[in-house]
Amino acid sequence: MADYYTVNQQGTASLFQFLITHKIFPDKIIYLSSLAAAGPSLDGKAVNEKDIPHPITPYGKSKLRGEEEVLKYKDNFSVVIMRTGVVFGPRDRGCFPYFTQIKKGILPSLRGSRRLLSLCYVKDLLRAFYLCLQKELKSGEIFNIADSRPHDWDEMGKAAGQVMGRKLKKISIPLSIAYIWALIAELTGIVTRKPSIFNRNKFKEMKQKGWIADVQKAKEKLSFQTQYTLEEAIKETIQWYLKHKWL
């Protein structure tokens, strides 16, 4: 977990110190952060940029520390922070293990109430970068970047299953079993020195009631709206996985 801080906080600080030392002043610097830095939704309320951050994992806390390093230099550089929801698309390895289960005809689902999350297809994210570069913005602005409509993992799975022509069987997983699975995966990663994507911190994120971003500010100041529907984005993603024999 220390690597998160080495990269996200110390790495960011080192970059700005290098730029200052060598008198390099880019026109604009965009820091790619995460909704994890803001923390999960409370009582189903979408998180906006003015809310006090409450990250719950080392990853989220390290991203917030990275943001703080960026803001230290907002008077020296023109900086913008983008907090994204769950990013997915071709080449993505984060969501890939989930799609491997879909190909087997399994729709894994955490038991309990519906858990909504804000998603961002990678091509929409690239468009947000472009808009940030083009717009005249106050240095230090923070934007949530995601689809304005939240989704859940079941919707993603069903869309992927349709693309792959799979009839899915929903497997409802109790939280206790998911935690044990996360613990075993984490310990296995330590022993093999190949860290698992699924671990106790990922479980902690997944069990939250929601990760919903309020994207109104990005709509108003950047004219940003996602251009891909969930179905279109999932279709392109799955077709890439199939073409390159990942699935």
Query: Is 179 contained in some domain?
Result: yes
Q: Is residue 195 part of a domain?
A: yes
Q: Is residue 171 part of a domain?
A: yes
Look at residue 159 and tell me if it is in a domain.
Answer: yes
> Is 6 exposed, middle or buried (CB count within 10 Å of its CB: 0-12, 13-18, 19+)?
exposed
Classify residue 246: in a domain, yes or no. no
Is residue 128 one of the residues assigned to a domain? yes
Domain that holds residue 136: 2-237
What's residue 164's pLDDT?
A: 96
pLDDT at 26: 96
Residue 12's contacts (CB-CB under 8 Å, 6 or more residues apart) are: 31, 66, 69, 70
Please state, in angstroms and rounded to a whole number, the distance separating the CA atoms of residues 123 and 121.
6
Question: pTM for the complete prediction?
Answer: 0.92
Number of domains in the chain: 1
What's the chain's average pLDDT? 94
Structure confidence by residue, pLDDT tens digits, 44-79: 799 999 999 999 999 999 999 999 999 999 999 999
Residue 217, domain member (yes or no): yes
Q: How large a percentage of the chain has pLDDT more than 90?
A: 84
Q: What CATH number did the domain enclosing 8 receive?
A: 3.40.50.720
The model's pLDDT over 73-83, given as tens digits with 9 standing for 90+, comes to 999 999 999 99
Residue 247 lies in a domain: no
- Cβ atoms of 218 and 207 closer than 8 Å: no
**For the segment 83-135, what is each residue's pLDDT rounded down to a tens digit?**
999 999 999 999 999 999 999 999 999 998 889 999 999 999 999 999 999 99
Q: Given this model, what pLDDT does residue 1 score?
A: 66
214 contacts 48 by C-beta, under 8 angstroms:
yes
Query: What is the per-residue pLDDT across 189-229, written as a single tens digit (0 to 9) for each?
Result: 888 888 778 889 888 999 998 999 999 999 999 999 999 99
